[in-house]
Amino acid sequence: MRTPVVCAVVAVAVLIGTGTAVATSLTVTSKKLGAAQVTAPAMFPTTITIANGVGGVAGQAENGDIITFVFSQQIDETTLCSGWSNSLSTQSVQEGWAILPGSGGADDTLEVNNPASTCANGFNIGTVDLGSAGYNTGSSNIRFTSTTAALVVGPSTSTLTVTLSGIKGSGGTVSAGSPAVWTPDSSLKDRSGRTCGNNLAQSTATVQF
Amino acid sequence: MRRRVIVALLAVTSLAIPSLAAARGVTVTSKHTTGGFAAVSSCGSLAGIGVAWLSTANAVTSVTLSSIPAGCVGGILSITLASSSNTSLGSVAATSVTATSQTLSVSGSPTATSVAKVFVAVSGP
């Protein structure tokens, strides 16, 4: 239901030179107006970086390349890996990661494809859209079978550093792409039980590895 | 309710020369003046809007709004991202609401972990 509101504005101009005063009016038909404070995200991914390892080829995924994920909160470590506990602020696991080729021209993705046995419910970091289809130009996954994932839980944030290792297969070299976008897993939570919802993080770099 | 108001105004011109004083009449053209008051209503429940954002190196670069009331489509929306002490850190310029879910660019590059409050305003439609 709309309520018309009429605002009358009277402007009086005194023209000294002519000795004339003129009153003019402005009629405004108002519209609806509303405002509210909405809930700001509290648990979300803040940063992802995918760096080339020492001596590596820029733009090509290889052993030694490092992916860093940062969360805005202290995570509930058990939701990332069920075998972990919040009693420790540092954790480490060796597991399999892979670059999956994008189908139909879609971007390649990076994810855990073989979690360690200590993470019985999977390693729930989520997936990374790498911003290009050129990192895996084949039809099968490029696997990194002995990748190390190390977690550090700080006073207010959590950082996971992944170092690729044990490559099986070979990929292409990308010279121009788009930022990588990290979509956290919906089962991962902070210590207040909050998930990342639909919040995302993207890299500043447009060429990864 | 309408009232007729005649505005009369006299301008008095004071002395330019100390020995002379004169009052000059001012001709007034009267107009009808109407005043009114009514409560302004919102296009819908804005408090129920969901907010998610895209963070680039811990800076909010865009926000995605969900559950925008259907009655707000066609209105003009603006967003302010603020700290816990209500200091504005970034904003979304006034933009048309085209759907009940919408992704909008954020100016000011607010530090994501410093944003504690999000304010949404919609005028119209």
Kindly list the averaged pLDDT for each block of 10 residues, start to end, along chain A of length 209: 36 39 49 92 98 97 98 98 98 98 96 98 98 96 98 98 97 97 98 98 98
Q: Which residues of B touch A201 (CB under 8 A)?
A: 54-56
Residues 7-46 of A with CB under 8 A from B: 7-8, 10, 12, 14, 16, 19-25, 27, 30-41, 44-46
Q: Does the beta-carbon distance from A198 to B52 stay under 8 Å?
A: yes
Token pair belonging to B27? 């001709």
Summary mean pLDDT of chain B: 82
Q: Pairing state of beta strands A181-183 and A200-202?
A: antiparallel
How far apart are the C-alpha atoms of A111 and A89, rounded to whole Å?
Answer: 23
Quote the pLDDT of residue A180.
98
Contacts of B106 in chain A (CB under 8 A): none
* Cβ distance of A14 and B116 shorter than 8 Å: no
pTM of this prediction? 0.81
Nearest CB neighbour to A46, from listed B33, B112, B123: B112
Cα–Cα distance, A43 to A197 (Å, whole number)? 8
pLDDT band at B25 (very low <50, low <70, confident <90, very high): low
- A81-110 per-residue burial string, b: 16 or more CB within 10 A, e: under 16: bbbbeeeeeebebebbbbbbbbeeeebbbb
B61 min Cα distance to partner chain A (Å) = 10
Do A201 and A158 form a contact (C-beta atoms < 8 A)?
no
Over residues B38-45, the mean pLDDT reads 85
Contact A201 B50 (CB under 8 A): no
Instruction: State the pLDDT at residue B40.
Output: 78
Nearest to B125 among A23, A31, A201 (CB): A31
- pLDDT class of B26 with cuts at 50, 70, 90: low
Structure token pair of residue A103: 């189908």
Separation between Cα atoms, residue B56 and residue A3, nearest integer Å: 43
Per-residue CA distances from A182 to A45, A93, A164, B96 (Å): 8, 20, 17, 29
Nearest to A110 by CA among A69, A157, A153: A69
| Cross-chain Cβ contact B55/A22 below 8 Å | no
CB burial of residue B60 (10 Å; 0-12, 13-18, 19+): buried
8 Å CB contact of A33 and B121: yes
